[in-house]
Amino acid sequence: MTRMSRMLRRLAILSVLLTCSAVAQAAAAGAPWVELAGRRIPVELADTPESRAQGLMYRDRLAPGHGMLFIHDRQEPLAYWMKNTRIALDILYFDSARRLVSQQRGAEPCRNPRACPIYPSDAPARYVLELNAGEAAALGLQDGMELRFGPGIPND
C-alpha cells in the first residue's frame, strides 16, 4: 500500500467517524426532553394507547437521568401498575397545567402478575413521568413543581 493510499484510507475513516458523530449529536439534540427542578431530562414519549400500555414493560434498565413521559388525552384520575416491569420507578403525576399533583416513589416491580399493586394519583392528572426509583428524592421534588416541555412535545 502506498503512502498516498494509506493517507486516503485514513481520511475516509476520519470522514466516516465525523459523520457518525454528527449524526449522533443531531439525534441527541432532537431527542425530546422535559425540565423538572432545574434539570433537563431526556424522555421517551408514550402518547398513544399502545405506547402507554407498553410503557417500560420488559425493560431491564432505564438510563440514569432519563425517563418516560406518558401523555394522556385528558386530565382525570389515573392509576399505574408495574406488571411486567422489571425496574423500580418513581411515578410522577402532573395535571393539565403540568404541576406535580402526586408522587408514587420507589414503585417496585410486580412479583406476582395476579396481584400487582396499583399506584394511583392523588388528584386528576394528564401527564405521568416515570424515572428510576430514587431520582424524585435526588431532585427534591415537591407537589406543585412545574414540568416544562422541550421542543417536540405537544403543548396542548
- In whole angstroms, give the CA distance from residue 128 to residue 41: 14
Residue 90: give its domain's CATH number.
2.60.120.1140
126 pLDDT band, cuts 50/70/90, is very high
pLDDT at 79 over 70: yes
Q: What is the mean pLDDT of residues 116-125?
A: 96
% pLDDT > 90, the chain: 74
* 43 lies in the same domain as 11: no
* pLDDT exceeds cutoff 60 at 4: no
Together in a domain, 23 and 57: no
Distance CA 12, CA 24 (A): 18
Domain count, the chain: 2
Q: Is residue 156 part of a domain?
A: no
> Does residue 154 lie within any of the structural domains?
no
Digit-coded pLDDT (tens) for 50-76: 999 999 999 999 999 999 999 999 999
- The range of the structural domain enclosing residue 127 comes to 33-149
Q: Residue 40 and residue 33: Cα distance in Å, rounded? A: 6
Domain check: are 25 and 74 in the same one? Answer: no
Calculate the average pLDDT of the chain. 86
Residues 16 and 40 in one domain: no
37 shares a domain with 56: yes
